[in-house]
Amino acid sequence: MSPQKPADFLAQGWTPMMAQYLALRARVEAEHPGALLLYRIGEFYELLGCDAEAAAPALGLALTSRGRSPDGRPIPLAGVPAGALDAHLPRLLAAGWKVAIGEEGAEAAPIAARCGRPGKALRARTISRVLTPGTAVEALDPLAPTPLAVVTPTEVAWCDAATGALFVESGEAEAILARLAPAEVVETPSDALSALRDYLARTTGAAQHLAPARRMDGAAFLDMDVPTRRALEVTRTLSGARKGSLLHAIDVCVTPAGRRALATDLSGPLTDVARINARLDRVAALVADEEGRGALRARLREAPDMARTLGRLAAGRWAPADLLALRNGLITAGAVCSVVYAAPPLAEAFEGLLRDLAAGPSLAPLAQALKEGVAEDGAIAPGFAPALDAARGAQERAEAEVAGLQAAWRTQTGIARLRVAENVALGHFVEVPARVAGPLMAPGSGFTHRQTLAGAVRFTRPELVAVSQVLADARARAAGAEREAQAVLVARALDQAQGVRRVAEALARLDVAAGLADIAARKNWSRPVVEDSAAFVLEGARHPVLDGPDFVANDCDLARMTLVTGPNMGGKSTFLRQAALITILAQAGAFVPAHAAKIGVADRLFARVGSADDLAAGRSTFLVEMEEVAAILRNATARSLVILDEIGRGTATFDGLAIAWACLEALAQNAAPRALLSTHYHELTALPFVANRHMAAEADGEGLRFLYKAEDGPASGSFGLVAARLAGVPEDVLARARGILGALESGAPIPPRY
């Protein structure tokens, strides 16, 4: 069934403007289901009806109304100024909306020509583009990748539309999506890559800007499911903030592309020892060369976001500033090469990246053309396009003639404040203060009155009309010639897109390595030994987010499943988390907060730290915990790292102890992964296959002083009542609790309180 046309809505009693809108809205819904329509009316983009009601909260706009429906109801309206569109689009995309942009055309035809009845002229409107969370190339958060993923049960094709990067990845779709955290997911029963290209063609009108697809294996990355990522706060805290996450703690990159690359590295640590050590070699070389590191970071600060610049060029959404950015990016790449080549150890460590950075002779003509053709303000430079130079010359001569006319008329009239100006409505005009305008109003003055304002009067003259037309023609020719010259440079850049992408990726990887080296040098972090083994030994390890001069370092050796006991608030969860975060850092190719570390590469990392429920789905804290533990028991291998905080705590004591006991046995007997667990069930410390550690604490009067030191052996008690006192539980309640505890421990009946 074809969408309704304007005439259909006119027949229902809608106004011509609303008939046009509703017809366009029907077409959007047919071609892009669920998309909002931002409809250009004058200097505003307007959302009407249900779209306004749905989108206003995300935009922080108050609802108003525009006219009424045929049955008399107000039509909800929310609008944004055209100049502020790019500031509002990211909010809609971040909220998961698709957005269709309805633009006014230059043509204005009678409504009868389109709607079937006489009426006033309306500008034709068409859908200029459709933006979705995973296909937008503009109005983006510079620090956040926005992947689009197309999923089949065994394969995921995904791209970063903003940069053109394209990948096809085999493996478990759920694991791949957990790593990517895509901005948009599309499911398909057919070939994922073809479906992705089709989707881009439908939404953006083009998919040709994508790079050739690179094939990847999901097993190349450390597998972390969504609960693990959330519990460890890898890139976002539990509240969704960047600040406080592992990423925020180590991100000192100086370019947007480098910061996005670092986020990608932490989301997908590697499992290949050679690749990990190649990254560590680069960081180590920069840690050892403070002067070279400083010079490199200073140069990298000058690098624009070339990857996204190229994406806008390829998608046809570029501005002149993008050509300037591309020019400056290639210049910066050359300067960075010089810095790295000046230090032989750096040149050796970065040999592969330097090849990409130099990009060989293929990019030299493009770099030279951009250098010659793009001026510092982003305009086409003089001498690059002869037709543009000629048009600019004519424009300058006409502007000089206008200036000459102004000077001559000031002399002729004796009015020093006479000026020649222009606006859209009148074109060029002569303006004088109202109090001296009388002589120019007189017949025979040569001036023709055009407009009277409160304090000024405006006139024209035949010679001004003539030179104004010459100037307008020259400007139009200059604008056209400049667009043609820019289009030539854009085409040349796209011809070398692969080389430009390599340069952009190399700059980003250099930025990541230099940033990690800076953190390592300033915080005295060390290079981990990463190997293909089951080793996990940390000496003097600290939490990477909490690391500071007062942080208590601890050792950790997971040769056996290790059980950690100790008082609440004593540091058990921190001890567990830091082991997991150090693993992520090491396999991402970063130095770690420890005096020494030896880590056998993990294939999967499971972390259950803290509690959470899912009330909206009817799942309690305990049910969520059991589902996550079940996933560990099914999927952990001997190469996995398992972090479990207080398993079984969400139910009755004996039930929880029984479940925890059985789960530990199953882990030890079946997969036997490296495992670090905390518990308040002291009965578990007697299991023969566990090594026991405890977080030390000292009695301090009636209180407790936490030492935050992991020591061998189980804790001597739970200290629950002490923790309750520290939390501010009233003394009478604590006294009652001590009495109940004594009765429970002795088997005596609990005396009634009332």
Q: Which of 324-333, 442-451, 568-577, 611-620 has the lowest mean pLDDT?
A: 611-620
Q: How far apart are CA 214 and CA 221, in angstroms?
A: 15
Please give the average per-residue pLDDT across 242-257, as a whole number.
96
Enumerate the β-bridge partners of residue 607: 643
Query: In the Cβ-directed half-sphere of 274, how many Cα atoms lie within 13 Å?
Result: 0
182 CB contacts (<8 Å, ≥6 apart)? 134, 146, 147, 148, 149, 158
Q: Crossing angle, helix 572-588 and helix 273-288, to 10 degrees?
A: 90
Alpha carbon separation from 320 to 477, 482, 484 (Å, rounded): 17, 10, 12
Q: Which of 360, 287, 331 is nearest to 526 (CA)?
A: 287
User: Mean pLDDT, to the nearest integer, of 561-575?
Assistant: 91
Kindly state the greatest CA–CA separation across the chain: 120
Residue 746: partners with Cβ closer than 8 Å, 6 or more residues away: none
Amino acid identity at 242: R
pLDDT of residue 698: 83
- Neighbour-count burial of 346, counting CB atoms closer than 10 A to its CB (0-12 exposed, 13-18 middle, 19+ buried): buried
Q: Report the pLDDT averaged over residues 310-330.
A: 92
Contact residues for 483 (Cβ-Cβ < 8 A; gap 6+) = none
What is the three-class DSSP state of 373?
A: helix
Q: How far apart are CA 151 and CA 157, in angstroms?
A: 7
> Is residue 618's pLDDT more than 70?
no
In this structure, what DSSP letter does residue 683 have? Answer: G
Which residues touch 720 (CB under 8 Å, ≥6 apart)? 567, 568, 680
- 77's tokens: 């309206």
Question: Average pLDDT, stretch 551-564?
Answer: 96
pLDDT digits (tens, 9 = 90+) for 383-441: 999 999 999 999 999 999 999 999 999 999 999 999 999 998 899 999 999 999 999 99
d(CA 673, CA 605): 10
Classify residue 562 by burial, with Cβ atoms within 10 Å: 0-12, 13-18, 19+.
Answer: buried
Cα-Cα end-to-end distance for the chain: 76
**Cα angle 698, 699, 701; round to 5:** 145
pLDDT of 744 strictly over 90: no
Helices 462-495 and 364-373 pack at an angle, to 10 degrees, of 160
| Residue 168 amino acid letter | V
DSSP label at residue 550: T
Tell me the mean pLDDT in the region 625-629. Answer: 84
Beta-carbon neighbour count of residue 323 at 10 Å?
24
The residue length of the chain stands at: 754
pLDDT at 614: 41
Q: Once rounded to an integer, what is the mean pLDDT over residues 224-229? A: 93
Q: How confident is the model at residue 117 (pLDDT cuts 50, 70, 90)?
A: very low
Cα 290–chain centre separation = 30
Interacting residues of 258 by C-beta distance below 8 A, sequence separation 6+: 300, 507, 508, 509, 510, 511, 512, 515
C-alpha distances in Å from residue 39, one per residue of 25, 33, 45, 69, 437: 9, 17, 5, 18, 44
Domains in the chain (CATH in brackets) are 6-131 (3.40.1170.10), 147-359 (1.10.1420.10), 529-717 (3.40.50.300)
What b/e readout covers 233-248, taking b as 16+ CB neighbours within 10 angstroms?
A: bbbbbeeeeeeebbbe
Quick one: pLDDT band at residue 720, thresholds 50, 70, 90? confident
Tokens 């005009």 map to which residue? 429
A 10 A CB-CB count for 630 gives 11
Half-sphere exposure of 469 (CA within 13 A, CB side): 5
Cα dihedral across residues 426, 430, 435, 439: positive or negative: negative
Question: Can you give the pLDDT at residue 611?
Answer: 56
pLDDT digits (tens, 9 = 90+) for 137-165: 877 888 888 899 999 988 999 999 999 99
SS3 548: coil
Where in 391-507 does DSSP place strands (E)?
Answer: 419-423, 427-433, 448-452, 456-460
- Paired sense of beta strands 554-557 and 536-541, if any: antiparallel
Q: Can you tell me the distance from the alpha carbon of 590 to that of 635, in angstroms, rounded to the nearest whole number?
A: 27
pLDDT at 729 exceeding the cut of 90: no
- Computed on alpha carbons and rounded to an integer, the radius of gyration of the chain in Å comes to 34
Three-state SS for 753? coil
The mean pLDDT value for 567-593 works out to 95
**Per-residue pLDDT, 612:** 53
Q: How confident is the model at residue 218 (pLDDT cuts 50, 70, 90)?
A: confident
Query: How do residues 41-87 score in pLDDT, each as one tens digit?
Result: 888 999 999 999 999 998 988 899 988 999 999 999 999 999 888 88
pLDDT at site 652: 62
pLDDT band at 115 (very low <50, low <70, confident <90, very high): very low
Distance CA 371, CA 366 (A): 8
- In angstroms, rounded to a whole number, what is the distance separating the alpha carbons of residues 703 and 727? 11
Q: What is the pLDDT of residue 528?
A: 98
pLDDT at 610: 67
**pLDDT tens-place string over residues 181-196:** 999 999 999 899 999 9
114/552: higher pLDDT = 552
Token readout for 317 is 């959404």
Q: So what's the pLDDT on residue 128?
A: 86
DSSP state of 624: H
Which among 469, 309, 304 has a CA at the least distance from the CA of 401?
A: 469
The pLDDT-based confidence of 110 (bands split at 50, 70, 90) is very low
List, in sequence order, the alpha helices (H) in 359-461: 364-373, 386-413, 438-441
Provide the sign of the torsion angle of the four alpha carbons 573, 576, 580, 585, taken in this order. positive
| CB-CB contact of 41 with 55 (8 Å) | no
Average pLDDT, the chain: 90
Does 361 score more than 80 pLDDT? no
What pTM, to 2 d.p., does this model score? 0.89
**What confidence score (pLDDT) does residue 37 get?**
95
**Residue 191: strand, helix, or coil:** coil
The answer to whether 65 and 76 are in contact (CB under 8 A) is yes
Q: Is the pLDDT of residue 114 over 50?
A: no
Q: CA–CA separation, 562 vs 689, rounded Å?
A: 9
| Helix, coil or strand: residue 284 | helix
